[in-house]
Amino acid sequence: MAEAFQFILVQCNTHVGDFEGNVALCRAAIEDAQTKFDKPVLVFPELAITGYPPEDLLLRPSIGPRVDSALTSLCESVTHAYVIVGYPRKVDDALYNAAGVIHQGRIVDEYFKWSLPNYQVFDEKRYFTAGSEACVVEIHGTRVGLTVCEDIWNPEPAAAASRAGAQVLVNLNASPFHRNKQAERHAAVRARVLETDLPIVYVNQVGGQDELVFDGGSFVMDSAGDLVMELDRFQPATARVSFPFEPSQPPRIESGELISGFSKDQLAEVWSALVLGVRDYVHKNGFPGVVLGLSGGVDSALTLAIAEAALGADKVQAVMMPFRYTSQMSLDDAAEQAQLLGVKYSVLPIESIYTSFMEVLEDEFAGLAPDTTEENLQARARGVLLMSISNKTGKLVLTTGNKSEIAVGYSTLYGDMAGGFNVLKDVPKTLVFALCWYRNSLGPCIPERVITRPPSAELRPDQKDEDSLPAYEVLDQIIDLYVEQDLSAKEIIARGFDEDDVLRTIRLIDLNEYKRRQAPVGVRLTKRGFGRDRRYPITSRWRAGV
């Protein structure tokens, strides 16, 4: 006969490859639950033992023994609780993405993930063999069916668990963030609920891992498809819910306020993802802080604001590196923002460095007209200074290029691209402006004229970005249609865009793959961010014509 018990959703921030640390996180939650509750059923995320994604660590010969040792340690802490946790399981020559049920010091059953995603950032078929059998475990008289992440996006794994007699489904996840992802998760889980008439417990990990951000947002949905409860996003959290589930909570009401055409809720979500991505990249890789070039422009201003929010002012250094083309406005605005945020601020002029380079190159450049080479040399002088500070202090250099610039190559290799992490890598310029206004809505941060002045790299007199590029409102739409939606030039032009703008933009995107291949990693916000999502050849005669 079924008894009432507590599901405890553990939305934890694991660290890839840290078996001991990840087990310690799990043990702490288990021991706390076993102290407080008679019948706790703890649910951890997918591959919580290794962290996600472990990538080619899964190909190391030692992966099996390391996982076995970690599981042995974890099992020792489990007495009267039931613990559902994810890990890789080696069986003969096959490796499975497993969810195990631990009780009274041993693994009582295991489920092997059926649906192995192999798109966007996922390549699980490189590592895992797909499972094919449902797993339903009796816990306190209730039959609990297990699924893992991608399984919930496909009908058959849930249907198989239902046919095997499941009365509730548990879904372990390492589901990375992109904009509007939580609504997509709700829709997928609700579809499985309505197909099976079963409630679902959905537990997702949280934290940054290289370019990926996992936003948590774990939730429980009842058999009517209504939310029973939902955990906060972008932070570790643990929540308890009694089974059978009580009536659902009222749905969250989203704000209708708009900032530069984006809803304030959307901007808050993106802001949180960027802050978490920076914080975990810096902390998990052991950097004592960050350093960045603060130009007085909008991109570096936003990067500085995010870094301060992620790490605190004491771990952030901003460096202004003026040249003859740097305006007094830029000098004043950079100093004002640094003072507002309380970060360490340095001014290192590059005039003498640039002059020295030009003197050394005088014979090489003889008879050749000035061009972008001289502009790029300014950026490279700045890159040398920032990387030298990094070398000496151990601080990570944050680059400040946005997605619009990276798409069309409006950046300098070994100059403004020199660094270890690009916060705005997947943030188009129009979203940069909106995020600046959003940050200022929380309190004074970015001087207003930084946002309102025409964007300029200030590498030559009276330079404006839109002298070389279409207006950002146009450029960003073309990039979205070509990069994220894979539309052809002909299809984009048919939507009313100027043919010259489209063909020039697409040509620049295709030609600059070699730059992007050498760019630092950065937070992924879309389904087609530059990096793991989009893998185009550098050497290619492909050209996107009409």
**Three-state secondary structure call for residue 297:** coil
CB 465, CB 297: distance < 8 Å: no
Backbone angles phi, psi at 447, to 5 degrees: -55, 135
3-state secondary structure (DSSP) of residue 215? strand
- Which of 149, 230, 445, 458 is the catalytic position? 149
* Cα gap 194→197, rounded to integer Å: 5
CB-count exposure of residue 67 (10 Å: 0-12, 13-18, 19+): buried
Strand order across the 168-173 sheet? 136-139, 142-148, 168-173, 200-204, 219-221, 227-230
CA distance 498 to 506: 12
In angstroms, the CA 413 to CA 514 distance is 10
Sign of CA dihedral 276, 279, 285, 291: positive
- Closest by CA to 480, choosing from 445, 429, 520, 521, is 429
Helix (H, G, I), strand (E, B) or coil at 427: coil
Is 55 part of the annotated catalytic residue set? no
Identify any residues that bridge with 91 across adjacent strands, giving them in sequence order. Answer: 94
Of the candidates 481, 484, 511, 510, the one whose C-alpha atom is nearest the C-alpha of residue 497 is: 481
Active-site entry in 26, 46, 375, 436:
46
61, 87 Cβ separation under 8 angstroms: no
Selection from 137, 175, 123 nearest residue 153 by Cα = 175
409's tokens? 């190559």
For the question of residue 392 being annotated catalytic, the response is no
The gap from C-alpha 534 to its chain's centroid, in whole angstroms, comes to: 15
Given the residues 12, 26, 113, 405, the one annotated as active site? 113
Identify which of 372, 446, 452, 385 has the alpha carbon closest to the alpha carbon of residue 411: 372
Report cis status (omega within 30 of 0) of the bond before 53.
Answer: yes
Q: DSSP strand E in 55-211: where?
A: 82-91, 94-103, 106-112, 136-139, 142-148, 168-173, 200-204, 206-209
Would residue 133 show up in a list of annotated catalytic residues for this protein? no
Q: Is 312 left (phi over 0), alpha (psi -120 to 50) or beta?
A: left
Q: Where are the beta strands (DSSP E) in 122-224?
A: 136-139, 142-148, 168-173, 200-204, 206-209, 212-215, 219-221
Helix (H) or strand (E) holding 27: helix 19-36
**Helix, strand, coil: what percent of the chain each, to 5?**
40, 20, 40
Relative to beta strand 136-139, strand 106-112 is unpaired
Mind telling me the catalytic residues? 46, 113, 149
